[in-house]
Amino acid sequence: MTVVAVPGSKSVTARALFLAAAADGVTTLRRPLLSDDTDGFAAGLTELGYHVERGADVWRVTGRPAGPAADRADVYCRDAATAARFLPALAAAGTGTFRFDASAQMRRRPVAPLTEALRSLGVDLTHEDADGRLPLTVVADGIKGGAIDLDASLSSQFLTALLLTGPLTAEGLRIRVTGIVSVPYVEITLAMMRRFGAEVTRDGDTFIVPPGGYRATDYPIEPDASTASYFFAAAALSGRSATVAGLGAEALQGDLRFVDVLREMGAEVETGQDATTVTGTGRLRGITVNMRDISDTMPTLAAIAPFADGPVRIEDVYNTRVKECDRLEACAENLRRQGIRVETGPDWIEIHPGVPAPVRIACHGDHRIAMSFAVAGLRTPGTTFDDPGCVKKTFPGFHEFFAGVRAEWGV
């Protein structure tokens, strides 16, 4: 049994940084993720005038319930949608002029449902781009609050941004949501808001967020469940065993449900109170699976799918087309170049069994494409990558770390 020390959760770290910045008092974050996304998020807060003290394993954030200390800032959100979507909402609840820009890919990704919701709350927000994307500028003067409608069919992050901001408004928010994707991420948001002293209630499809701000706390960050999927998949693929400590029955992240997919395919899964173990059995069955709730793990499954004994069909993952790249097409393209038969539709992909040929994987700058095909590379020696360094978004050092796990397994 190999215990894999997976780095901290990107989603939990980003939310914890937001909540700590907005809280009254000094928050201690334990074992935050050190990666480009979370570094960018913390740097964005610093740019806005928050005090973020970063040690190796512990970060301390001095909260500012009234909002950013800076009255003017230019924040570069890099490739991180968490920063690009959460930080403008945080800034809007303060006072000042704040501009947000991001990488070329993040500039292409949607933000309009969120920015339209902020505008309907009276926030002065302008896009430099005609299509309602980044860059954007917020001329902030607090948010009174009120009722809004939100289409969250392209990203749950629009809802998370508004939920997190709700307690910072004068009168609170009532958010009526349609078409939501990635629901477990909203559950993470609600659970973490509770830990910082804010209780959201629900009335059908409406989220009711009371005013009243947040309280600082001491917050341990759990390992990243999407990252864990690579080690679980690798164990299933190679007949080895991977235990991820710190991700058990109490875990916040929905992506841990990826182990249910592996179990259905034939792997053995053991979920303890504070750890999860996947053991490969030498068998991988083909399946049809809806991954709407856990779509960051779609590339993990797609990359190992050719090794199943029947077709693997992944459904309801339209929004993977608007991530770090069009993930449905990027997976299909790489699998086809490996000689695998693949079909795609608007929101699905079907992968047939086969023996992938070693090719140079086109990463499209997407960490998940790189890490997923690295896992599949266990069974396809000679696999290389056009941009191995793109893993830095959530796991700098992934390739070396994975090589260490392989060495321990002897595969």
Ligand X SMILES: C=C(OP(=O)(O)O)C(=O)O
Nearer to ligand X by Cβ, of 11 and 338: the residue is 11
Residue 241 interacts with ligand S3P (CB under 6 A): yes or no: no
Q: Is 393 annotated as a binding residue?
A: yes
Residue 81 interacts with ligand X (CB under 6 A): yes or no: yes
The pair phi, psi for residue 218, each rounded to 5°, is: -110, 120
Does the active-site annotation cover 296?
Answer: yes
For residue 279, what are its two tokens?
């053991």
- The SS3 of residue 276 is strand
Helix and strand tally (H, E) in the chain? 13, 24
Q: Is 368 annotated as a binding residue?
A: yes
Q: What is the DSSP letter of 394?
A: T
- The SS3 of residue 149 is strand
- Contact region for ligand X (CB under 6 A) — 54-62, 80-88, 136-144, 214-222? 80-88
**Could you give the C-alpha distances from 169 to 104, 244, 274, in angstroms and in order?**
32, 39, 36
The pair phi, psi for residue 195, each rounded to 5°, is: -65, -25
Query: Contact with ligand X (CB under 6 A): which of 80, 163, 190, 228?
Result: 80
Q: Is 372 annotated as a binding residue?
A: no
- Contact region for ligand S3P (CB under 6 A) — 45-53, 180-188, 310-318, 357-365? 180-188
Q: How many amino acids of this chain bind ligand X (CB under 6 A)?
A: 8
Q: Is 11 annotated as a binding residue?
A: yes
Q: Is 253 annotated as a binding residue?
A: no
Residue 297 interacts with ligand S3P (CB under 6 A): yes or no: no
Q: Print the binding letters for residues 306-335 with ligand X: x by CB under 6 A, - otherwise.
A: -----------------xx-----------
Q: What is the DSSP letter of 7?
A: P
For residue 214, what are its two tokens?
């947040």
For residue 221, what are its two tokens?
């960050």
Question: Contact at 8 Å (CB) between 358 and 380?
Answer: yes
Element holding 193 (H helix, E strand): helix 183-195
How many whole angstroms separate alpha carbon 281 and alpha carbon 268? 7
How many whole angstroms separate alpha carbon 244 and alpha carbon 395? 16
Among ligand X, ligand S3P, none, partner that 368 touches (CB below 5 to 8 angstroms by kind):
ligand X
Query: Contact with ligand S3P (CB under 6 A): which of 155, 227, 241, 380?
Result: 155
Closest distance between ligand X and the C-beta of residue 108, in Å?
A: 12
Residue 160 interacts with ligand S3P (CB under 6 A): yes or no: yes
Query: Contact with ligand X (CB under 6 A): which of 222, 224, 296, 350?
Result: 296
Question: At which residue do the structure tokens 């290389």 appear?
Answer: 384
Nearer to ligand X by Cβ, of 64 and 76: the residue is 76
How many whole angstroms separate alpha carbon 212 and alpha carbon 221? 24
Angle made by CA atoms 90, 93, 97, in degrees to the nearest 5 = 85
Q: Is 103 annotated as a binding residue?
A: no
The tally of CA atoms less than 13 A away on the side-chain side of residue 364 is: 22
- The SS3 of residue 12 is helix
Residue type at 244 in one-letter notation: V
Residue 21 interacts with ligand X (CB under 6 A): yes or no: no
Which one from 37, 39, 79, 296 is the annotated catalytic residue? 296
Query: Contact with ligand S3P (CB under 6 A): which of 13, 35, 182, 338?
Result: 182
Query: Contact with ligand X (CB under 6 A): which of 13, 27, 38, 82?
Result: 82
Nearer to ligand X by Cβ, of 236 and 390: the residue is 390
Angle made by CA atoms 115, 119, 124, in degrees to the nearest 5 = 105
Q: Is 183 exposed, middle or buried (CB count within 10 Å of its CB: 0-12, 13-18, 19+)?
A: middle
Which residue, judged by CB position, is nearest to ligand X in the bound state?
A: 81
- Contact region for ligand S3P (CB under 6 A) — 120-128, 156-164, 217-225, 403-411? 156-164
Q: Is 240 annotated as a binding residue?
A: no
Q: Is 327 annotated as a binding residue?
A: yes
Give Cα 362 distance to the centre of its chain: 21
Residues taking part in catalysis: 296
| Binding site residues, ligand X, CB under 6 A | 80-82, 296, 323-324, 368, 394
Binding-site residue set for phosphoenolpyruvate: 10, 109, 157, 327, 368, 393
| Binding site residues, ligand S3P, CB under 6 A | 11, 14, 82, 155-157, 160, 181-182, 185, 295-296, 319
Binding-site residue set: 10-11, 15, 109, 155-157, 296, 319, 323, 327, 368, 393
Binding-site residue set for 3-phosphoshikimate: 10-11, 15, 155-157, 296, 319, 323
